[in-house]
Amino acid sequence: MNSRTPYQTFRWHSEIFDCYSNDIEQFERQLLQETARLQLKPRVIGHIDGWPLQLWQSPAANAGLPSVLISSGFHGEEAAGPWGMLHFMSELTDTIFTQVNLTLLPLANPTGFSKGHRFNRFGENPNRGYLSVGDGATPSLEGKLLLAHAQLLLAASRDGILTCHEDILSQQTYLYAFEPSKQPGAFSQGLLAALTQYFPVTEAAVIDDCPVENGIIFNHFDSSFEAWLVRSGAKAGACSETPAKANFDRRILANSAVMQQFIAGSHN
């Protein structure tokens, strides 16, 4: 964590999308196309420097279906998450709405994304300060907006939350996972397997002071968005980490695959 600098900028070219990773105009254009095609319902949570902080939801919620939330783009330089979500959306049909109540938060940190740097333009970390865990972190502007919509987010993630990050220092993949059990179960293992189709699993035994076992950091409660939602009642949670030292399009495909697996694992 210490060697990740908040204002170092990163940019990669995507052959799949024919643009650079920080091209927010292109991202928003394609996002509007996909959300219109799927008839997803927008829920604007606020604005950051003119960019919407926005959720997209199933056209009609069905009380009998699991409610799941997928988020990405909390750290601006971890660009394969949001582009991976676009790729994931491009492969969806409206069959999805008979399987889950879907909520998407594609781009949590638009100002960081457009600059290709980690923190938002105010120098805040958008993935800290959601839970009081003694790290002294306070919520960012994005965090305050999300916390102000706690009820909506808790309902949306009741049966699961997946958030997609990248590790800028890594050539290998790993997963933070939360399940109400002593050991990672089918939920966590399925997500890790989706990632390891694309990248080798990390050999690290410790990452950011957390013990890693076979690629999984299990039930580690920090002050992140995902830890907050699990602590607040989500049945399961995960944070995927793709390696930002690997090819950008491959990272996009891995993010799309882990989102597909999350949905498949949520309604079976």
| DSSP secondary structure, 14-26, as one string | ETTTTEETT-HHH
Distances (CA, A) of 180 to 3, 184, 185, 236: 32, 9, 9, 7
For Zn ion, the closer of residues 82 and 160 by Cβ is 82
Residues serving a catalytic function are 241
Contact 82, 75 (CB under 8 A): no
**Min CB(145)–Zn ion separation in Å:** 18
In eight-state DSSP terms, residue 125 is -
- Look at phi and psi of residue 240 and say left if phi exceeds 0, alpha if psi is from -120 to 50, else beta: beta
For Zn ion, the closer of residues 61 and 133 by Cβ is 133
For Zn ion, the closer of residues 165 and 235 by Cβ is 165
**Min CB(116)–Zn ion separation in Å:** 13
- Amino acid identity, position 245: K
**Min CB(267)–Zn ion separation in Å:** 27
Contact residues for Zn ion (CB under 5 A)? 75, 78, 165
Exposed/middle/buried for 31, CB within 10 Å: 0-12, 13-18, 19+?
buried
Length of the chain: 268
For Zn ion, the closer of residues 34 and 78 by Cβ is 78
Strand (E) positions, the chain? 13-14, 19-20, 41-48, 51-57, 67-72, 101-105, 160-167, 174-178, 206-207, 210-211, 216-218, 237-243
**Min CB(89)–Zn ion separation in Å:** 21
**Min CB(158)–Zn ion separation in Å:** 24
**Nearest Cα to Cα of residue 34 among 98, 83, 101:** 83
For Zn ion, the closer of residues 78 and 142 by Cβ is 78
For Zn ion, the closer of residues 148 and 169 by Cβ is 169
Distances (CA, A) of 188 to 160, 193, 198: 11, 9, 16
**Min CB(110)–Zn ion separation in Å:** 15
CB atoms within 10 A of CB 174: 27
Contact 267, 66 (CB under 8 A): yes
